Amino acid sequence: MTNPIISPSTWLKPLSPRDPHEKHRVATSLELLFDLIFVVAIATAGQQLHHAIVENHLWHGLELYLMVFFALWWAWMNFSWFASAYDNDDAFYRIVTFVQIIGSLVIAAGIPSAFQQQDFDVIIIGYAIMRLGLVTQWFRVAKHDTERRKTALRYASGIIVVQLGWLFFHFSPVNFTGYLFILLVSAELCVPIFAEAASRTPWHAHHIAERYSLLTIIVLGESIVGCSIAMTDALTNQRFSTELIFLMIGGLVMMFTMWWAYFDSEIAERLNSRKMAFAWGYGHFFVFISIAALGASLAAAVDVVSHEALISSMRESYFVAFCLVLYTTSLYVLHEAHHQVGFKKLLYPLTVVIVLAIPQCIEPAGYAIFAMAIAYALRLILAKSFIATAKVQG
């Protein structure tokens, strides 16, 4: 009898479409491993943003952070949607995924050089490794899923063309300007739209919602870890103060409330169309980057409170407020706006005004951040109380 562990069918199976209505579809252990290793690169980028904030190079550091984070998010998103539709878990699929994991680690290794010397060579190479790994998978789909062969070939050809653009314009004498970056990013975003126009890939709505939820938890956790390390360093070096206590409590309340707000909505039922899926999937760029940037800014706030930073207390408070507003705005648009009515609909803009006003009214940074966290938590509590009241009256 053939041993199934070494059976050829286990090593190389047809990369056929998954059932988009499969019951009890959950993230695989390989996807979880991919996410955990992927967050190494996100954490590295967060550390570099933290240093840029502390050294009062906020705008330059933020520009670099946006560029690096896009590469990370886009590679992760493409892998996640592909795996939702075509994960057959054979040995070749696992090996190609491992190649993509290597690419994410190469990107992580190149992040410090990008921030310190504006050298993106290693990041571009790591990004190419990840993208070409995905191209290999799309060619397999073109072979085995005849119904969606045109879609698969559009994906593969689109990725190759844009990747050649990244390589040519970066390693050629042409200056790698911000305008060129925006152009190539726009091309990247257009590839799935162009490909899915031929026929929709069979991604699983509940699986996609879970994949995004898992990355949200991981990025939140990484942000908390970053803040904890900064706090521990401050306490170790005897920079303890009442303001630091308020900052610690405020940061934890803020992160907990962000978690609560994200996971209090049913998402999968809304991913019922191609248009909605694109809006929701692309819109999460702002959710993820705001969480990660907020973690870096809270870690930098510890240095500000400890008088170990060059950035002013008010400017640091405004950056934390901006990250929080970006997160709440993204979540409001993606999860909340479509079903809110009456006074509850005014809670979001009112909270934005309050959060943005706090840095001007309250100083120093530790107390301002604590006040922002309380304002955001009260908004969530009020919103939930209105829902409960409406249900009782109904």
Q: What is the pLDDT along the chain (394 residues), one digit of tens a residue?
A: 344 444 555 688 889 999 998 998 999 999 999 999 888 899 999 999 999 999 999 999 999 999 999 999 999 999 999 999 999 999 999 999 999 999 999 999 999 999 998 888 999 999 999 999 999 999 999 999 999 999 999 999 999 999 999 988 777 666 667 788 899 999 999 999 999 999 999 999 999 999 999 999 999 988 888 888 887 877 777 677 899 989 999 999 999 999 999 988 777 667 777 888 899 999 999 999 999 999 999 999 999 998 889 999 999 999 999 999 999 999 888 887 666 666 666 777 888 999 999 999 998 999 999 999 999 999 888 877 655 444 444 4
Q: Which of left, alpha, beta for 9 (phi over 0: left; psi -120 to 50: alpha)?
A: alpha
d(CA 270, CA 288): 20
Token pair for residue 194?
A: 């162009």
Secondary structure of residue 212 in the 3-state scheme: helix
If 0-12 CB within 10 Å is exposed, 13-18 middle and 19+ buried, where does residue 83 land? buried
Most distant CA pair in the chain, distance: 77
Local structure of residue 269 (DSSP, 8 states): G
Contacts of 271 (CB under 8 A, 6+ apart): 205, 208, 209, 277, 280
d(CA 288, CA 296): 13
**C-beta atoms surrounding 161 within 10 Å:** 11
Read off the amino acid at residue 30: L
Tell me the C-alpha to C-alpha distance, in Å, between residue 272 and each of 202, 212, 280, 335: 12, 16, 11, 14
Degrees, nearest 5: CA angle 244-111-224: 30
Q: What is this structure's pTM?
A: 0.91
Token pair for residue 95?
A: 């090996």
For tokens 């050809």, the residue is 157
d(CA 226, CA 232): 10
Q: What domains are there in the chain, each with its CATH number?
A: 27-202 (no CATH), 206-393 (1.20.1410)
Give the residue among 290, 136, 276 at the shortest CA–CA distance from 219: 290
